Structure 1
Amino acid sequence: MELRDYFKVLRRRWISVVLIGALCATAAGAYTLLQSPVYASDARLFISTSESDAATAAAGGQFSAQRVKSYADLIGSRELANRVVTDLGIDADPGELANQVSAEVGVETVNLTLTVTDTDARRAQQIAQVYAEQLVDLVRELETPQGETNAPIKATIVDAASFSETPVSPKPVRNIGLGLLVGLLVGFALAVLRQMLDTRVSSPEDLADVTDAPTLGTIVQDPAGTRAPLLTQIEPHAPRAESFRVLRTNLQFVDVDTQHKVFAVSSALPGEGKTSTAVNLALSLAQGGGRTLLIECDLRRPKAASRLGLDEAIGVTSVLVGRVKAEDAVQVHEPSGLDFIAAGPIPPNPAELLQSNAMSELLDHVRDLYDVVILDAPPLLPVTDAALLAAKADGAMLVLNHGKVTRDQVQLSIERLEQVDAALVGLVFNRVPAKNKTYGYGYGYAPQESDQAVPARRREGWHRR
């Protein structure tokens, strides 16, 4: 990943990053509230020698500096803790009391500062003061040579134990700040990991390693699509209508040397919107004035006829078995002037029918009568029907559900087409969020000529000859 990729991840998943950061900050705040306040008391001692003449002063200073480190280590001894417990007359474990005390030697000095922490400020001061006094006595005992009364080195209390009612722990601001920082880092790391493991297709760049096929169009997500699934049911300048006009325009540049074209519209898996894409693309082509025929070739789960509100009884299967002629199976969608052949009765052997010579003859026949023939094919991965249809057509358009289909599924779908020598003419991204500027939907659409009046200029098809 490059630097700009990290910014893309942050822009795409910033909400989850912020939520994790807030969660960690909240957890840190809750942990802080559950902690008992801890107070600290400091006492400072000065370590010196009894030498008074200048000749031995330097040597005495070095000796004191060496000794002060040993005294700092004695702070954590059980012997000193026992003395403090006895002096204070408290019921405490010497080992636990020793853990409450720490010592620090000033840099290049003979000053020793001991610090005692406790949940009671006054008790912390008392323990610190007794610790300092007992350390002075212990140093005198240890440094006094046997048989003598004076020690060559001594510890002197310079600052008595301090008292403060301000707790040193916990620190709410620091803890919450650290929790927020750690949460943001963890959230961003998880976002990057999720992005690296996420193989779903969310932009044309995600397909760079899968296929070189062009993106013919992107269909913008419309919340009202379930109530008004057809182009004839929405405003002509709605973003979804504009999406299909762009797809219609781009389709004209596919195989420009061929006057009559047959395209299969399929997807990798069910539920990606291939039927709605095929139906609305056909409607847009018909509204644009071209002779257009939509054939419902999903003989397993046909939905196009019900979407258009047309009869499902007679259709492709009726023509393939010779019950009716193709001309008699054609219906007209009056609002748009689109010619349509339904799937007809669902057969027990859809793949065999679609692979038959009768299907090839049907496609050859309608190819000469229409500018564009759209085949609403089944999904590619569950069954072989779509690949068989694509091999008989001039190529296939693969509808990809934005943010749902994975790169592996797209790769397998393309391999299905390659296995039968079918051409992939392009990709169609479906249900793209309107705010996704990757596809250019971050601006308003300028009014264009409405397609509602165009069907009157259509060249005649079967039902108008």
Structure 2
Amino acid sequence: MELRDYLRIARRRWLLILGTLLATTAIAAVITVNTTKQYSSTSRVFISTSPSNSSDAYQGGLFSQQRVASYADLITGLELSQRVIDDLDLDLSAAALAGKITASVVPDTIILKIDVTDPSPVQAQRISDGVVSQLQDFVAELETPPGRDNPLLKATIVDPPRLPTAPVSPQPTRNLGLGLVLGLLLGLGLAVLREVLDTSVKRIEDVPGLKDTPLLSVLAFDNDVARDPLISSLPSHAPRAEAFRVLRTNLSFVDVDNRSKSFVITSSVPSEGKSTTAVNIAIALSSAGQNVLLVDGDLRRPQIARVLGLEPSVGLTTVLVGMEDLKNAVQQHVQSGLDVLTAGRIPPNPAELLQSHAMQELLGEARDRWDTVIIDAPPLLPVTDAALMAAQTDGAVLIVRHGSTTKDQVAGAVERLRSVGSHPLGVVLNMVRSNRGGSYGYGYGYGYGYGPQTEEPARRGWLRRRKGVTVS
């Protein structure tokens, strides 16, 4: 990954990063507040010999340096701790007291630095006094050979224990700083991990099968679509209306040498916003002066009649079974002037009807009578209907829901088109949520399925309203 990739991930996953940052900082704050304060009393002890003459001074210095490291270990031992307990009458075990004491040698010296920590500053100083006192006696005992009255080494206090005025722990500034840094790193790590594990389509280039397929439009998500889905009811300067005019223009440049007169609008899976997209593409083309026929080819879950407020009982199936001719079955949407062939009654055998000779004749007649024929088809992966219709037209416009449809689903849809000799004319990336203002476009989704229809519980209504209930 390059730096710009990390910046893109940070912009997209900023809520995750911020949440992790706040969580770790809060944890650091809670730990800091609930940690018992510890005070430290420090003393320094000089370990030296008592040479009888100047010739012994050098040897005495070497002897002291060899011994001082050993005494640093003895200070934290159980023997010295027990002596301090007995001397001060402490209600502690030797191991517990030893855990409060640390000792180290000041580099390049024969000075011992002794630290004693305790929740009470007074007790810390008291124990530190006891440790230094017992150390002096201990050194004298160990360094006095049999038959001699004076020890070879002595421990001299050069810096007596003082009463601490501020705790050494916890350190709020350090803890909160570490919480912020760790939160930022953890948040970025989680964001990158989620991005790596997220196989949904963010860019068309991410799908190998679409590398040479033009991106016709990027449509931003808009909650208002649930209330007012048609661009014909919007002012001409509305961003949604402008978005479809841009899409209309891009469609005119697709396959210029073999101008497409008929194509299907489909998607990989349900809930990608294909039906309302198909309606508005047709309205945009019609408003430019083209003679357009919109056909609802979804004979399993038809939506066009409901969206446009047309009669649903007469339509495509009525013509295919010979109960009505195409001219009489077509309805006109008054608001937009668009010619529409609804799905008609839902048949028991959609696939057979769509690949029948009657369907081929209907499409041939439609191409002769209208400049452009747009067919709203079912999703490609659940059923074969869309692929069957795409094979009888000039191709398919594939609707892909940004951040939801997976790369494998799109690749599978493209493969299904190519397996019947068709191909995607272009891609519309739909429902793109952007933090940047001023972008044209919109998107929609709808609860689409081919299983038995069940009524959605009312308690989920608020969530659907927040997300924008839309048409697939």
The residue type paired with residue 203 of structure 1 is: R
Number of aligned positions between the proteins: 441
Classify the secondary structure of the residue corresponding to 1:373: strand
Structure 2 unaligned blocks of 5 or more: 442-472
The residue type paired with residue 155 of structure 2 is: A
Q: Is 2:411 aligned against 1:408?
A: no
Partner of 1:454: none
* Offset, 1:223: 2.1
Partner of 1:433: 433
Partner of 1:301: 301
Residues 164 and 427 of structure 1: CA distance in aligned 2, closer, same or farther (over 3 Å): same
The residue type paired with residue 420 of structure 2 is: V
The residue type paired with residue 14 of structure 1 is: W
* Offset, 1:219: 2.2
- Say if 1:315 and 1:345, in contact at 8 Å, map to a contact too: yes
The residue type paired with residue 80 of structure 1 is: L
For 1:210 and 1:56, locate their aligned partners in 2 and report how far apart those are by CA, in whole Å: 89
Residues 435 and 124 of structure 1: CA distance in aligned 2, closer, same or farther (over 3 Å): closer
Residues 180 and 146 of structure 1: CA distance in aligned 2, closer, same or farther (over 3 Å): same
For 1:22 and 1:220, locate their aligned partners in 2 and report how far apart those are by CA, in whole Å: 30
- Say if 1:72 and 1:103, in contact at 8 Å, map to a contact too: yes
Q: Is 2:95 aligned against 1:95?
A: yes
The residue type paired with residue 144 of structure 2 is: T
Partner of 1:280: 280
* Offset, 1:442: 4.2
* Offset, 1:374: 0.1
Q: Map Cα deviations across residues 240-288 of structure 1 (whole Å, 9 max, x no partner).
A: 1111111111111122234561010001111111000100000000001
The residue type paired with residue 16 of structure 1 is: L
Matches within 5 A, 1:155-304: 155-207=155-207, 211-258=211-258, 261-304=261-304
- Say if 1:260 and 1:371, in contact at 8 Å, map to a contact too: no
- Name which of structure 1's ranges 350-359 and 328-337 shifts more when overlaid on structure 2: 328-337
For 1:112 and 1:17, locate their aligned partners in 2 and report how far apart those are by CA, in whole Å: 47
- Say if 1:220 and 1:239, in contact at 8 Å, map to a contact too: no
Q: Is 2:14 aligned against 1:14?
A: yes
For 1:199 and 1:44, locate their aligned partners in 2 and report how far apart those are by CA, in whole Å: 63
For 2:259 and 2:47, locate their aligned partners in 1 and report how far apart those are by CA, in whole Å: 104
Dislocated runs of 4+, deviation >6 Å: none
- Say if 2:38 and 2:170, in contact at 8 Å, map to a contact too: yes
Give me the CA root mean square deviation: 1.5
- Name which of structure 1's ranges 138-147 and 2-11 shifts more when overlaid on structure 2: 2-11
- Say if 1:360 and 1:392, in contact at 8 Å, map to a contact too: yes
For 2:234 and 2:107, locate their aligned partners in 1 and report how far apart those are by CA, in whole Å: 80
Partner of 2:27: 27
For 2:435 and 2:144, locate their aligned partners in 1 and report how far apart those are by CA, in whole Å: 84
Structure 1 unaligned blocks of 5 or more: 445-465
- Say if 1:293 and 1:339, in contact at 8 Å, map to a contact too: yes
Partner of 1:70: 70
* Offset, 1:311: 1.0
Partner of 1:399: 399
The residue type paired with residue 387 of structure 2 is: A
- Say if 1:260 and 1:368, in contact at 8 Å, map to a contact too: no
Partner of 2:79: 79
Partner of 2:458: none
Q: Is 2:302 aligned against 1:310?
A: no
* Offset, 1:176: 1.4
* Offset, 1:119: 0.9
Classify the secondary structure of the residue corresponding to 2:256: coil
Q: Is 2:144 aligned against 1:144?
A: yes
For 2:436 and 2:400, locate their aligned partners in 1 and report how far apart those are by CA, in whole Å: 16
Q: Map Cα deviations across residues 72-115 of structure 1 (whole Å, 9 max, x no partner).
A: 01011111011101110122101110110000111100111111
- What fraction of aligned residue pairs are identical, expressed as a percent? 50
- Say if 2:208 and 2:411, in contact at 8 Å, map to a contact too: no
Classify the secondary structure of the residue corresponding to 1:302: coil
* Offset, 1:202: 2.2
For 2:435 and 2:48, locate their aligned partners in 1 and report how far apart those are by CA, in whole Å: 75
Partner of 2:450: none
The residue type paired with residue 247 of structure 2 is: L
For 1:168 and 1:209, locate their aligned partners in 2 and report how far apart those are by CA, in whole Å: 62
For 1:77 and 1:299, locate their aligned partners in 2 and report how far apart those are by CA, in whole Å: 86
Classify the secondary structure of the residue corresponding to 1:250: helix
- Say if 2:204 and 2:211, in contact at 8 Å, map to a contact too: no
- Say if 1:390 and 1:396, in contact at 8 Å, map to a contact too: yes
For 1:235 and 1:52, locate their aligned partners in 2 and report how far apart those are by CA, in whole Å: 108
For 2:389 and 2:281, locate their aligned partners in 1 and report how far apart those are by CA, in whole Å: 18
* Offset, 1:436: 4.8
Q: Map Cα deviations across residues 35-73 of structure 1 (whole Å, 9 max, x no partner).
A: 111111011100111115332211211111111101101
- TM-score norm. by structure 1 comes to 0.92
- TM-score norm. by structure 2 comes to 0.91
